[in-house]
Structure 1
Amino acid sequence: MKLTSLITTTVSAAVLALASTASWAETTMEKIVRTGEMTIAVQTQGPPVSFVNKDGVRTGFAIELAQMMADDMEVTLIIQDYDWKGLIPALSSGKADFIAADMTPTAKRHMQIIFTEPVFFSETIAFSLKDSGYTTWQELNSADVSVGATQASSWAETARKVLPDADLKEFAGGTAQVVQAVVSGRAKAGLSDKATIAGFMSSIEEIKVLDGLLAQEPLGFATRPDSMHLLLAINNYMRLIRADGRLDQKLEYWWNSTAWEADHK
C-alpha cells in the first residue's frame, strides 16, 4: 500500500471513530428522558426565588416554574441546594441539568454557561438601617462606608461599578447574610434586588430602602454549553406559559408583591 493511501485510510478511520463516539454521547435531554428525572441547582437562601418555608418545604418562584415544567414533561424534579458561588460549578460538573436562580447573564458567566432568554427582571437597590442617616444610594460611595453584597453576584459587580470608593464586603449564603450583616453592624448598607428586600422588610423593621435604582437586569436560568436541546426546551416552555398566563400569575405572586409571605413565612 502506498504511503498516501495508508495516511488517507488512517485519517478516515479516525474521523469515523470520532463521529461514532459523538453519535453515542448522551445529551442532557436524552438523560432526562432515560432517567425520568430533571435535576436543578438552586440557591440555599434566596426568597422569594428559592427558600425553605415555615413547613420545611423548598419553594419559591424558580422552584414553582421548574416544578411546573417537570410536571408537564412528566418527569420527576430533583432539587439540589447550593450557596450562590456553588451554582455554576455544580452545573459545569454535571451534578445539575440547569441552574434555576435569579442569575444575571453577564459576559463573564457566558464564558462558562449558556443562559435562557430572560425569564424576569430585577431592580437593584441599596438598603440600610433606618437610623443610618443615608437617604440615597449615591451617599454610599465613600471609603468609610462598608457595603455588603452576595459573594460572586451581579450585585457585587454593580457595587464595584457604581460605588467604586465604597468598602465592598462580599458574603456567602445569599441576601439573608447581607441583611444580617447590615442589622448586626458588620456593613453599613447592602445591595440586592427590590423584590427580595421587600420580603425581608416585613419581618425586619430596622431596615429601609434607599432612594434610587442602581441597575435593572434581565434574569434567567442557565445550562451547560452542550445542552442545547434543553436550553431550547426551557425557552420554548417560558414562551408557552407566558402565552397562557401562568408565568404572569407566578410573577405577580412571587416577584411583584409580597403576597407569598402570608402562605410561606
Structure 2
Amino acid sequence: MSSLLKSIGLAAVLAAAALAPALADPVRVGIAAEPYPPFASPDSSGKWTGWEVDLAMAVCAEAKLDCVITPVAWDGIIPALTSSKIDMIAASMSITAEREKTIDFSEKYYNTPTAVAVAKDSDIAATPAGLAGKIIGVQVSTVHEVYVRKHFTDAAEVKVYQTQDEANQDLVAGRIDATQADSIALDAFVQSADGKACCKLAGNVAPDVEVLGPGVGFGLRKGETELKDKLNAAITAIRANGKYDEITKPYFAFDMYGG
C-alpha cells in the first residue's frame, strides 16, 4: 500500500509540474494595433498607454493574471483570438449578438454614446435626415459601419477605412462630410490640434442596442469559463474598491461605466 501511495504521490507531483508552465504563461491581451486615443496609443518608446490599457491591466492584477499587451490589426483581432494567437480582446469591442455567434464576452466595462463629427462650419445633424446625401466615413468591421448602413440609407456614400484615424484625416481634408465613432474617441479628435482647426461634434446618434450593444466587454474564446469568471469578478471588484474611478479620473470627468 505504501508503494502504491508513493506512486500516486509521485504521479501527482509530475502532473503538477507538467501543468505549471501552461498556468504560468502570460495572458495575451489583444488590443487594436492602430492608435485609438485616449483608449490606447503607443508612446515615444513604443509602450502602449491609455485608459483602456490601464483598465485591462488593473483587471488582470485584480484577477491575479499575468497579462501582456499584444497589438493586433483591428480587422484580424477576432480571428487572432479564435486561433489562440491572443487570449482576450481589450479593444473597445461592443458586445453584440452577431459577435457572440463567434466569441464570448465578459460583463461590460464601459458604455458610452456613439457620435458623429462634421466640419466646423457644417449644419449637418446626427440624424438620417441630416446625413442624407452626405459622404460618411466609418472604420471597417465596427458597430459604426453596421449602424450607418442600417440607419443612414440615404447617405450618398459610406466610405470604409482601416482605422478611425484615416476617417478623421479625410474629414479634416474635406473628402468626407461626416464620420461616426465612439463619442469619447471623437471628442478626443475634435480637441486635438487638427480637430480643433476643422471639426466639431454634431451630436449623438439615436440608440440601437441591437447594433451598438449594451456596452464594451473583453472578448473571449467560447468555453473559456474560468477566465471569464475571473474577469467578471475583477471588474466588479475594481468598481467596488475605487480602482475603476482612480484609473478613469485622469482621462475623463464623467462616468465611463454608463447605465
CA contact (8 A) 1:162 1:214 kept: no
- 1:172 and 1:92 mapped to 2: Cα distance? 21
SS in 2 for 1:198: helix
Matches within 5 A, 1:52-71: 52-54=42-44, 56-71=46-61
Aligned-partner residue type, residue 211 of structure 1: G
CA shift, 1:30, in A, is: 8.1
Select which of 190, 199, 204 maps to 1:207: 199
Q: Which residue of structure 2 aligns with residue 254 of structure 1?
A: 251
More displaced, 159-168 or 118-127?
159-168
CA shift, 1:58, in A, is: 0.6
Q: 1:125 to 1:97 in 2, by over 3 A?
A: same
- 1:244 and 1:83 mapped to 2: Cα distance? 34
Aligned residue pair count: 227
TM-score (norm 1): 0.78
Matches within 5 A, 1:115-194: 115-142=105-132, 144-166=133-155, 167-173=157-163, 175-194=164-183
Q: Which residue of structure 2 aligns with residue 15 of structure 1?
A: none
Percent identity over paired residues: 25
Aligned-partner residue type, residue 69 of structure 2: I
SS in 1 for 2:238: helix
CA shift, 1:57, in A, is: 2.4
TM-score (norm 2): 0.79
Whether 2:238 is the aligned partner of 1:241: answer yes
Q: Which residue of structure 1 aligns with residue 11 of structure 2?
A: none
- 2:84 and 2:202 mapped to 1: Cα distance? 40
Q: Which residue of structure 1 aligns with residue 227 of structure 2?
A: 230
- 2:221 and 2:126 mapped to 1: Cα distance? 39
CA shift, 1:200, in A, is: 1.1
Q: Provide Cα deviations, 1:107-152, integer angstroms capped at 9, x if missing partner.
A: 110011001111110200111111233244444432x311011101
Matches within 5 A, 1:39-78: 39-44=28-33, 45-54=35-44, 56-72=46-62, 75-78=65-68
Q: 1:136 to 1:176 in 2, by over 3 A?
A: same
- 2:179 and 2:95 mapped to 1: Cα distance? 22
- 2:187 and 2:145 mapped to 1: Cα distance? 19
CA shift, 1:185, in A, is: 2.3
Select which of 216, 221, 226 maps to 2:218: 221
- 1:30 and 1:227 mapped to 2: Cα distance? 19
Select which of 186, 204, 218 maps to 1:197: 186
- 2:66 and 2:237 mapped to 1: Cα distance? 20
Q: 1:214 to 1:252 in 2, by over 3 A?
A: farther
CA contact (8 A) 2:112 2:182 kept: yes
Stretches of structure 2 lacking an aligned partner (at least 5 in a row): 1-14, 255-259
Stretches of structure 1 lacking an aligned partner (at least 5 in a row): 1-23, 258-265
Aligned-partner residue type, residue 156 of structure 1: E
Aligned-partner residue type, residue 227 of structure 2: L
CA shift, 1:251, in A, is: 3.0
SS in 1 for 2:203: coil
- 2:105 and 2:236 mapped to 1: Cα distance? 15
CA shift, 1:209, in A, is: 0.5
